[in-house]
A and B are shown apart, each in its own frame.
Chain A
Amino acid sequence: MKRIWLLLFLPGILGLLLKIILERGWLENSVLFLRIDLGTLALLLGIFLSILLFIIWGIFLWQDRQFNDEFIQYQATTAEERRQFLQRLDHELKNPLTAIQAGLANLDGSVNQPAIESIKAQTLRLSRLVADLRKLAELETRPIERSLVNLSAILEEAVAIIQEGPEADQRSITLSLPQAPWPLPEVQGDEDLLLLALLNLLGNAVKFSEPGATVEARAFEDADMVTIEVADTGPGIPENEVPFVWQELYRGHGARGVPGSGLGLALVRAITERHGGQVTLRSRVRQGTVVTMKIPIGEVTKL
């Protein structure tokens, strides 16, 4: 179907054939008219050109749609393949890990204890990683709770939890929530998951910035969305790394010295998308980062 544009030549070819047939005298070449005024000629040409352009435009649109369909399908297949891969990985890793954990438990008290402890800790870390990857994959498919959630309360709670953290006291953490003309509307969703996402964003802002940095969380209503922003004056993320931050286990240059699972932002993205929202990140090196999370306002609470 890629050669469909060849059809455009069809009228021309038909005209040419007719011309040849008539010239050869196989059919009677009757004279239809002799004169045509310039106006009529312009009109006929105009109509002809319009039809031609219309056809070209249609073909262009059609191809574009097909490309889009293919792209969406490609994305769906990739997501499904990734999910299946994670499932197989989980399955292949959990038997050896079970055996290792049981074996280690048997060694307790018999040999070099510090060595055993360190192997145990690493085994636990590996087990946790496998479990986290599986849960992340599950989160993308499993149904989530849809109750009315007060995002203001959740933001306040998340900020309070982060402020209790060990690194928070050297940073200025502020939260601004709208009060006038009205407070944030409620959204539909799972409050535990939303809290988890916000904790991850605030936690990153604190974790990756230097003491003395400013962390700001703010939220506002914007058409049919609630927009939440978490901004910091941290080291920022280089432009070429920004597109990858949402991927599982991706760790940028700046993140290598900082402990973490490499799953935080992937989790934030999955949670946001399960709520029908979008999340984006803007950053400037040495200036800071802002993550913008948009969650649609539930039908119930819309005025």
Chain B
Amino acid sequence: MEKKPHILLVDDEQDITSNLSAYLNRSGFETSVAGDGEAALQKVDQNPPDLIVLDVLMPKVDGREVLRQMRQADDWTPVILLTQVGEASERAMALEEGADDYLNKPFDPHELVARIRSVLRRARPGRPPLSAAWVLVSGDLRFDRQSRRAYLDEEELSLTPKALVLLEYLMTHPDELLNRERLLDVVWGWEYPVGSRAVDTRIAELRRTLGDDAGDPTYIETVPSLGYRFINPVESGK
């Protein structure tokens, strides 16, 4: 039998860790719990987990500091940080701190499980995740995240800021089915009644600019009534 993935839950609220670890156990994971950042770093040392679910605000050492110390020590254990990434400034900071994914509280535990599975699937042992790469490359497409510009065949694409954010998210989550609600939340930080239309408009803009045919796509595939998927392989570049 395949070994169950080991998840380390780090949060100072015991009611959260106890309920979540019970739920994760039932979903086929092995779990351990740390109540603050210091304890988390110790556990990572003693019994390295496959993935860490890390809260930000905690006594002693906070989540961001835990993540920073790990990444500085070249430890690339996948981390899902429990906070919100919204503004451009936060996005730049998120890129530097090197988390694999973000989830804002309160969340549906099903959603956490889905994220854990996709992060584990994407994870490249011992190497930084795509979410922490400064340059993303997929075929002829290149995304420079420091200058926030995208190029196709070395030619700069003219995209609206939101289309850029959307493309960045798609490229950091390749081969993953992303539903409209999630894309909406990432790009707009808003869920609203006809928000799916906003997503579709920007996807259309991306396809137009990339010259991607919706019927026979190279980059962005439509998954009918479910969402979108970036199908071309993505590598971190220089």
Which residues of A approach B to under 8 Å, CB–CB? 91, 94-103, 105-106, 127, 130-131, 135, 138, 142-143, 145, 147, 161, 192, 195-196, 199, 203
Contact = CB atoms under 8 A, between A and B. Distances in A.
Interface in B20-65: 20, 22-23, 26, 57
Given A97-B106, A142-B87, A102 B19 contact: yes
A294 B22 CA distance: 53
Contacts of A143: 87-88
A143 B15 CA distance: 36
B182 interface: no
24 contacts: A91-B57, A94-B105, A94-B106, A95-B16, A96-B15, A97-B105, A98-B13, A98-B107, A101-B109, A102-B19, A102-B109, A105-B19, A106-B22, A130-B106, A135-B190, A138-B189, A142-B86, A142-B87, A145-B161, A161-B194, A192-B190, A195-B194, A196-B192, A199-B194
* Majority-rule SS of A interface residues: helix
Interface of B: 13, 15-16, 19-20, 22-23, 26, 57, 86-88, 105-110, 160-162, 188-194, 197-198
Given A101-B109, A161-B194, A192-B190, 5 more contacts: A102-B19, A106-B19, A131-B191, A142-B87, A147-B160
A158 to B, nearest CB: 9
A53 B192 CA distance: 60
Closest 3 CB pairs of A and B: A102-B19, A97-B106, A99-B15
B227 to A, nearest CB: 18
Contact of A106 (B26, B105, B189): B26
B160 A101 contact: no
Contacts of B192: 196, 199
Contacts of B19: 99, 102-103, 105-106
Contact of A99 (B16, B162, B197): B16
A147 B158 CA distance: 13
A102 B16 contact: yes
A99 to B, nearest CB: 4
Contact of A138 (B23, B86, B191, B193): B86
B161 A102 contact: no
A102 B110 CA distance: 9
Contact of B106 (A127, A145, A147): A127
Which of A100, A101, A145 neighbours the largest number of chain B CB atoms within 10 Å of its CB? A101
B23 A106 contact: yes
